[in-house]
Structure 1
Amino acid sequence: MPEGKIIKALSGFYYVLDGEEVIQCRGRGVFRKRKITPLVGDSVVYQAEKPTDGYVIEIKDRKNELVRPPIANIDQAILVFSAVEPDFSTTLLDRFLVAIEDNEIEPIIIISKIDLVVEAKKASLDQYMRDYQEIGYTVIKTSSITSDGIEALLPHLAGKTSVFAGQSGVGKSSLLNTINPELSLETNDISSHLGRGKHTTRHVELIHVGSGLVADTPGFSSLEFMDIEVERLAYCFPEIYQAGEKCKYRGCLHDKEPKCAVKEGVAQGEIPSYRHKHYLQILEEIKDRKPRY
């Protein structure tokens, strides 16, 4: 039977890319009974007598999946955070990074709207960039107005399936339009009343950009950590995990334990204090969450 990849899910239909042809499919009832929902990015087996009347009959094993946005089999996450409007937030960025790291997806950090940065904010923004680069993350500054950073980003997209994610209003759709003007994705400005972006992307869809596939996803501003255990959290902060290898006590949570190498690293300026602060905040969230039954 033919196989393909779901590139869009909308109103109960799944659009399956097979070569250069897109087949409109529905999901078999067996998925509902087994509480499995086909996701954009899924590799599937389908059957169809004509391009507008097919059925997804099997979902291949996933290498990863995200809940918000709902998408599977991602190679990398392009995390877009604006320098201003809305202001750059290390708190929100670190929450996104934890969610991505926990799913073992490679993150690339994009700082957008750099053309709007006033001189007084450039030094602090550059310091944040250096912090994340020293941890080992790829960080690229971009502007959809001046096209700065676009050439640096393009090689990272080639041949990969990427998800563009970030808070609404940071310019994800504008960035994709700059990369490929033929996309003509809907964009909108920041709401002056709410102080945050208006949602312009209403569903997840994989689109061709060069030799890769990218997903422009609905914006969202909060993340929950329902599946991460406390022992796992340090893995999602690479510099904390590395320093934690030198802790005196096995299983150290880098919180109240004595002779903690992570806390020593923070005190010596080797680990950014805000990163450790965010780690502790998420640690408390995980400890306080209600068990699921």
Structure 2
Amino acid sequence: MPKGQIMKALSGFYYVKMEDRLIQCRGRGVFRNKNISPLVGDYVHYEFERDQEGTIMEVFDRKNELVRPPIANVDQAILVFSCVEPEFNPGLLDRFLVLIEYHDIEPIICLTKIDLVPKAKLPELESFIEDYRKIGYQVVITSSETAEGLENLLPLLKDKLSVFAGQSGVGKSSLLNALRPDLELKTAGISTHLGRGKHTTRHVELMDVNGGAVADTPGFSSLELMEMEVNDVTFCMPEFQRASEKCKFRGCLHINEPKCAVKTGVEEGTIPAYRYDHYLQFIQEIQDRKPRY
């Protein structure tokens, strides 16, 4: 029974890669009864029914999976955020980072549209970049128009399954087109009425870019921390996790507890105050979440 990886899911069909071609498959009927939903990125066993069509018989265990976007076995997430149009949003970036860290996926921050940044805004942007690099995140600065930074991003994709994720309109598809022009992915600008991007990607699909599998995913502007508990957040913010080892109390939430090393770090400037503010927002959101039964 041949084995392959799902490269695309569309209209109830799954397209499984076998060598240099895609096999159009449907899932077994019993998958619905067993609550099995194949995802792009899944490794599967399948059977041929006729030429280039088949049935997925088994879905192998995943090392991880995301719900939005629906994809499995991700090695790294390229978190694409524009410097302008829409404006760089550290709160949304931190939300992405926390969720990606929670799923044990390596995040890489990719800032786009650097060519559009006014000189007056550069110092503030450079300050954010320095903060995230000090935390330990890799930050790549790019422009799809001028090709700036593409030579730094391309090597990071080789031999990896990468998700390009981020808000609508930040330039994910434009960036992929710049990395591999023959893709000719559809792009669109910012809605002047809504002030945010227009969705151009309608499904999740893996594409070969520099010897790696890359997913251009439907954009979205919000993420809910549905799976997380309050104690998870510290471990998803690297500088908080490092500092918490010196907190007086184990399980410190870094809110009201005395001798909290995280709060000390904020006071001393070793932990950015805006990251702490975002942390408090995430904790409050989780605490306010209605219990699920």
TM-score (norm 2): 0.99
* In 1, Cα distance between equivalents of 2:276 and 2:36: 37
The letter for the 1-side match of 2:257 is: E
1:107 counterpart = 2:107: yes
**Gap change, CA 1:224 and 1:51, over 3 Å in 2:** farther
* In 1, Cα distance between equivalents of 2:51 and 2:198: 35
* In 1, Cα distance between equivalents of 2:262 and 2:191: 40
Q: 1:280 aligns to what SS in structure 2? A: helix
* In 1, Cα distance between equivalents of 2:167 and 2:91: 12
Question: Between Structure 1 and Structure 2, how many residues are aligned?
Answer: 293
The residue aligned with 1:26 is 26
* In 1, Cα distance between equivalents of 2:291 and 2:145: 47
The residue aligned with 1:161 is 161
* In 1, Cα distance between equivalents of 2:8 and 2:181: 20
Alignment of 1:75-90 (within 5 A): 75-90=75-90
Gaps of 5+ in 2: none
Q: 1:262 aligns to what SS in structure 2? A: helix
Q: Deviations over 1:31-66 (max 9, x none)?
A: 101112100000000001334421011000000000
The letter for the 2-side match of 1:197 is: G
* In 1, Cα distance between equivalents of 2:258 and 2:112: 41
Q: CA RMSD in A?
A: 0.7
1:15 counterpart = 2:15: yes
Q: Deviations over 1:213-240 (max 9, x none)?
A: 1000000010011111111110110000
* In 2, Cα distance between equivalents of 1:55 and 1:78: 32
Show structure 1 runs of 4+ deviating over 2 A: 49-53
The letter for the 1-side match of 2:159 is: G
The letter for the 1-side match of 2:197 is: G
Structure 2 contact 49–55 (Cα < 8 Å) conserved = no
* In 1, Cα distance between equivalents of 2:218 and 2:256: 38
Q: 2:242 aligns to what SS in structure 1? A: helix
* In 1, Cα distance between equivalents of 2:291 and 2:261: 31
Structure 1 contact 24–51 (Cα < 8 Å) conserved = no
Alignment of 1:1-293 (within 5 A): 1-293=1-293
The alpha carbon displacement at 1:287 in A equals: 1.0
- Which is further off, 282-291 or 164-173? 282-291
The letter for the 2-side match of 1:161 is: L
* In 2, Cα distance between equivalents of 1:195 and 1:227: 29
The alpha carbon displacement at 1:259 in A equals: 1.1
TM-score (norm 1): 0.99
Q: 2:129 aligns to what SS in structure 1? A: helix
The letter for the 2-side match of 1:224 is: E
The alpha carbon displacement at 1:168 in A equals: 0.2
Gaps of 5+ in 1: none
